[in-house]
Amino acid sequence: MILVGGRTLEGPMNLRIDGTRIAAMAPDLTPVPGEAVFSAHGRLLLPGLVDAHTHSNDHLLRSMGQDLPLELWSLRTSAARIGRSAHEVYVGALLGCIEYLQHGITTVLDHLKLDPMSEEGFAAAARAYADAGIRGIVAPILQDLPLAATVPVTPGPNAFARRSPLPAAEQLAMTDAFVARWGGAVGPSAPHRCSDALLAGCADLARRRGVPLQLHVLETRLQRDTAARPTLERLEALGCLGPSTSLVHAVWLARGDVERIAASGASVVHCPLANAKLGSGLAPIVALVENGVNVALGTDSAACGDAHDLWTAMRFALLSPRSALPHHRWLGAAAGWRMATEAGARALGVGGAGRLAVGAPADIVLLDLDRPAFVPLTDPVAQLVFAAGPAAVREVFAGGRLVLKDGWPTGFDAKALLTEAAQLGARRLALNRPWLESAWELAAQLEHRLGSDGGG
């Protein structure tokens, strides 16, 4: 058992960690014989943050494909991911863990795209999270439609466009085997990249295994405009909308979709920085929240995010809608903090996480209060959300284990990992140059379509 003494947002507080859970909380707890004491004097004790949508496959592609809308960005990055070994997947995932921990993030959903799909690769990512001590929920990405069915390009002889995905049944069987062994989630890429059979199969698999279902939905205007039928109606008809579903992006919703999502109990994962950077638009989160939808936050890909900075995402999510709304409809600091913690845990079905309470997982972030952001301490929640940032994160416990100390992970050699990640990232880009060139040959066709439609 460990006794951690400090203060929470509510005031002075001691927490007792027993195994992986918080066993007791009170301002006047005293150590019992044999109990370790972790002095958190001058620290603010917070629940671990939840990044409800990331892609570890892009940690080795950070900041690749600048200043492009999603469809062109995707041509730049997809070709760079082809052919990775399980070890590359492991190193990429562990690289992300350094950043998550330094930002106080203890739970992530890793919407993991492997090309080709490989159970060994998915397991490698899950191993990385276990080694770092993070709750990493790996959601294998499934998609069974060829590129030309998902964006308006004519493949011709283009090698990248002519690649064909594995049959839906094979993808589902591989995901089922992974989830049976590792838990995780089911992650169809997006409605416009999946057949009806695959989407229905994913929903069925998630239900059968009792795991979350997560997918990108209506990220760009092109996706809305090229859908053969209204996307949310289609998802509902295929059994993909329910309390265990999280819809990522939800930027280009149709009339009635907000109410449809609210009625289903599904969550929305808002990724405001990636959406803004790719020029996709912004999800109507104020309307979603007002209608009772659970809205969580995600940092999305390191190649379009570009950092896994949930703190900046939280601020931007709160502030970006304000100028278009009367002030009584603004979301305040507490709503932002909830999105980054409890709402994320709920979206991912992680019971009890995202808050400090007896019985909750012992995921505890310790922030340095001895900083101008907290002095004088007049409104702790507002100062936490609008003034502090990841630089104040000093220590992190996850599942009762001290996983970040003095700003660095304790579970692995982060400095050595950085060196290896740099080497592997550069090597893969060199190896995949022919694929990158082939993919980029398609850009002119897409540019034309995006230009004539006014963008994605």
Residues of this chain that interact with Zn ion (CB under 5 A) are 300
For the bound state, the minimum distance from the C-beta of residue 162 to Zn ion, rounded and expressed in Å, comes to 25
For the bound state, the minimum distance from the C-beta of residue 193 to Zn ion, rounded and expressed in Å, comes to 12
Please identify, using beta-carbon distances, which residue of 77 and 445 lies nearer to Zn ion: 77
With tokens 């100028």, the residue in question is 323
Please identify, using beta-carbon distances, which residue of 206 and 303 lies nearer to Zn ion: 303
For the bound state, the minimum distance from the C-beta of residue 189 to Zn ion, rounded and expressed in Å, comes to 9
Please identify, using beta-carbon distances, which residue of 73 and 178 lies nearer to Zn ion: 73
For the bound state, the minimum distance from the C-beta of residue 392 to Zn ion, rounded and expressed in Å, comes to 27
In this structure, are residues 19 and 8 in contact, taking their beta carbons and an 8 Å threshold? no
For the bound state, the minimum distance from the C-beta of residue 107 to Zn ion, rounded and expressed in Å, comes to 17
Please identify, using beta-carbon distances, which residue of 179 and 303 lies nearer to Zn ion: 303
Please identify, using beta-carbon distances, which residue of 88 and 300 lies nearer to Zn ion: 300
Sign of CA dihedral 433, 438, 443, 446: negative
For the bound state, the minimum distance from the C-beta of residue 301 to Zn ion, rounded and expressed in Å, comes to 6
Neighbours of 131 (CB within 10 A): 16
Who contacts 125 (Cβ-Cβ below 8 Å, separation ≥6)?
56, 89, 90, 92, 93, 110, 112, 136, 138
Tell me the C-alpha to C-alpha distance, in Å, between residue 260 and each of 234, 253, 292, 302.
12, 10, 11, 31
Please identify, using beta-carbon distances, which residue of 144 and 300 lies nearer to Zn ion: 300
Strand partners, 112: 140
With tokens 């994605």, the residue in question is 456
CA angle centred on 45, ends 311 and 136, rounded to 5°: 60
For the bound state, the minimum distance from the C-beta of residue 320 to Zn ion, rounded and expressed in Å, comes to 19
Query: Residue by residue, what is the 3-state secondary structure of 398-420?
Result: ECCEEEEECCEECCCCHHHHHHH
Q: Work out whether strand 187-188 and strand 135-142 pair parallel, antiparallel, or are unpaired.
A: parallel
Q: E-strand spans in 285-359?
A: 294-297
User: Residue 40 has which token pair?
Assistant: 């958190």
With tokens 């278009």, the residue in question is 324
Please identify, using beta-carbon distances, which residue of 302 and 414 lies nearer to Zn ion: 302
Please identify, using beta-carbon distances, which residue of 257 and 300 lies nearer to Zn ion: 300
For the bound state, the minimum distance from the C-beta of residue 211 to Zn ion, rounded and expressed in Å, comes to 18
Integer Cα distance of 259 and 361 in angstroms: 33
Q: Work out whether strand 36-47 and strand 364-368 pair parallel, antiparallel, or are unpaired.
A: antiparallel
For the bound state, the minimum distance from the C-beta of residue 156 to Zn ion, rounded and expressed in Å, comes to 29
**Within its chain, how far is the Cα of 22 from the centroid?**
25
For the bound state, the minimum distance from the C-beta of residue 302 to Zn ion, rounded and expressed in Å, comes to 11
Please identify, using beta-carbon distances, which residue of 313 and 384 lies nearer to Zn ion: 313
CA angle centred on 90, ends 88 and 94, rounded to 5°: 115
Q: E-strand spans in 9-158?
A: 11-18, 21-26, 36-47, 49-54, 105-112, 135-142
Please identify, using beta-carbon distances, which residue of 16 and 103 lies nearer to Zn ion: 103
